[in-house]
Structures are given as structure tokens and as C-alpha cells.
Structure 1
Amino acid sequence: MNWALINSTRHAGASNVRAGVPVRYRHSEDQLAHYGIEMEFNGPIQRQWALTLLAGILLIAGFGFALNTLLGRKGA
């Protein structure tokens, strides 16, 4: 986490931060720890998500191709 991110439009509570509202009214210590870890590993998390999505799409396409090939043989 950095100050620029906390004050950016990506952070829903940026207006509260600018108004001086203490963070303890919006987040618990556990939440803040979770958010910090999530931000530290954001790049690898997004990369893994993209690879998983790609693998799922390829799997669905493979099943569709195999099914069409199988049904095409039975009709001939």
C-alpha cells in the first residue's frame, strides 16, 4: 500500500482519507493485513488468474472440438 493508491479513485474510501476519518472506523486490523498481502502479491495473483482463465477456455474449446469430431464420424 502507498499513499498515492489510498488517495486515488481506485480506493473507495479516498474521500474519507482526505477528510481525515480514521481508518479504524472502516477497517479492522485483519482486513488491513489481508489488503496489504493482496497488494504485495497483486501481480502474481493476476497472472495466475489469467493463466487459469486461458486454460479453462482451451479446455472448453478442446471438448467442443472433440465432441464435434466424434459426432461427425457417427453421422458419416
Structure 2
Amino acid sequence: MEALHIGKLTEEAKTTVTDDMHAHVISLARKANCTPSELYREAIYLYLTGETFSEHVANDRRSVMVQKGPSKGELRAAE
């Protein structure tokens, strides 16, 4: 699967669920220390891309951090 860049969240994803499903999502969100909306977003990304939204954000941040730091070889050469 191609890499998915995470940009600004601008589009809403709306759906309708049963009362029981909504109560279940609220319960899961509390356990995950997030809002139901955040949990729905995580589930959508996981289902459609194989990774949660949080994992995509972490991958974006990781790629930036890896690019900016000097390599171990560069650090040794500078000593």
C-alpha cells in the first residue's frame, strides 16, 4: 500500500449507527482515553489503510526526525 501523508483534517465523515453501537463506541473511547469521534477516525483509517490515524501521524513525524539528524557515521567523523 502506498504511503499516506497526513495533512490537515478538513472533511467530515458522517454515518448513522444503532443506540447499542453508539454506547459501545462511547465505552471503548473512554477505555482508550479519546472521544468517540477520534475512535471512529482511528477505525476508519485502520480499516481502509491497515494502520490507525495515530500510526500514520507517528510515521510522518518519524520520517521527519530521521531525515534531520546526522548519521552515526557523520557523528563519528566529526569527533
Q: Which has more radius of gyration? A: 1
Bigger helix share: 1
Relative to the length of structure 2, the TM-score reads: 0.30
Higher relative contact order (CA 8 A, sep 6+): 2
